Structure 1
Amino acid sequence: MKTPSPQSPVILGWREWVGLPDLDIPLIKAKLDSGAHTSALHAEAAGLITLAPDKQLICFAVQPLKTHPERSVQCIAPLIDRRMITNSGGHGEQRYVIRTHLRIGALLWAIELSLTNRATMRFRMLLGRTALAGRALIDVRQSYLMGRPHLL
């Protein structure tokens, strides 16, 4: 796996299949949105585990495929922050934030993800400009430039 750089950014479509290997999520469809500052992941049943006053873990469930809700993945990750994030409707929401690795094709790099309920949204994941900055450019006329995986 390699990491894209500002000298050689990858061209991606406005939607791509991505993976979150640290969370054991091999495939999830993401909308790439340069208008969104922060990336977001659909998460349910989030709960905190406090290990020490300054170390917390967040447990949550992800249903990577909207059409297959029975395929739920239980995830656990270090909590790095809680932030007030304004959604596309202009409403502020306090969200948990984690850091994880993003895989797109043969590329791999660390990103921050806010956890929220995206059940009413078309995509379970939104990849914002902070995660893409200096690494990727979006060709809004195209989709799935990194390929369409076969789903089990």
Structure 2
Amino acid sequence: MSYMANTLEATKVNSERMQKQKERRKEKLLKFIMNNLGETAYSLSKKLEIPRTTILDILNELEGDLQIKYVELIEKGRTKKTIHTRTIDDFHHDRFNFEAINIPLIRRLVENAQRSEIVVTFDMLDGSTKILMPKDDLQKFIDNN
């Protein structure tokens, strides 16, 4: 039984060590991407000296966590998938509190939603809701309410 216990303990310790190594690599990769936009998975693997399969696994996790996005560029007739960090403009919101409309970030999000042809709903102070259509003038909407 002691052999089995030693094997289980060794497996557990190795699993924890590998998880810590993956977290360190993930942090290193994200910091590198923030400072060097437009890299490919292959170039990241070479520059950071991390195996390409590991890079791809970590990139898939980061994309799933909505921290990065892939941008396809066409160079010399070939499609190149480059990696960028996500910004607030990458997210679309469709419901806002009308009190917050004068906050620059909220206003920018409303304008982004309109450009993306998303119908925006505002929760008004009296508890009602108002709808702003994509083609409506935002300033006129604010002035009328």
Q: Comparing both structures, which one devotes a greater share of its residues to helix?
A: 2
Shared fold (TM-score, shorter chain, > 0.5): no
> Which of the two has higher C-alpha Rg?
2
Higher relative contact order (CA 8 A, sep 6+): 1
Q: Comparing both structures, which one devotes a greater share of its residues to strand?
A: 1
